[in-house]
Amino acid sequence: MKYAYANKKFTAAVIGMATSPKNIQERVGVAFINHLMLLETEELPEEIRLKFSNMFQRLTTCEPIGNKGSVQATIEQMSTDEAIEIAMDIVYMADIVHSKLSDL
């Protein structure tokens, strides 16, 4: 299954965002760090590679501070609206990956 690993990681990210009691910035950060950060763009369907790369850049814009990594430093400064946009992008990408897996 070509996208099985990516599907597993995106599914876990979406479930985590949907079920965590944390604020949206923290949920997006945890989803990214725990499930999506190590995915390579080549492991994803062509149509979401740019969106994935953009998400990666948006979540790593700040330099690490002390014991906080780049993602943690970034989400601490992120607005709720931006975190919601990224969460929606994650759900969209998860849907694309799942549909590609189903097509195979």
pLDDT for 2: 86
| Helical H segments across the chain, by residue range | 4-19, 24-31, 46-58, 70-76, 80-103
pLDDT tens profile 8-24 = 999 999 999 999 999 99
Cα gap 86→91, rounded to integer Å: 9
pLDDT tens profile 57-69 = 999 999 999 999 9
- Mean pLDDT, rounded, of the chain: 95
Asked whether 62 and 77 are in contact (CB, 8 A), the reply is yes
pLDDT for 18: 97
Query: Is pTM, for the whole model, over 0.75?
Result: yes
Q: How far is CA 26 from CA 33, 82, 91, 95, in A?
A: 10, 12, 16, 22
Q: Where are the domains of the chain?
A: 4-103
Residue owning tokens 């097509």: 103
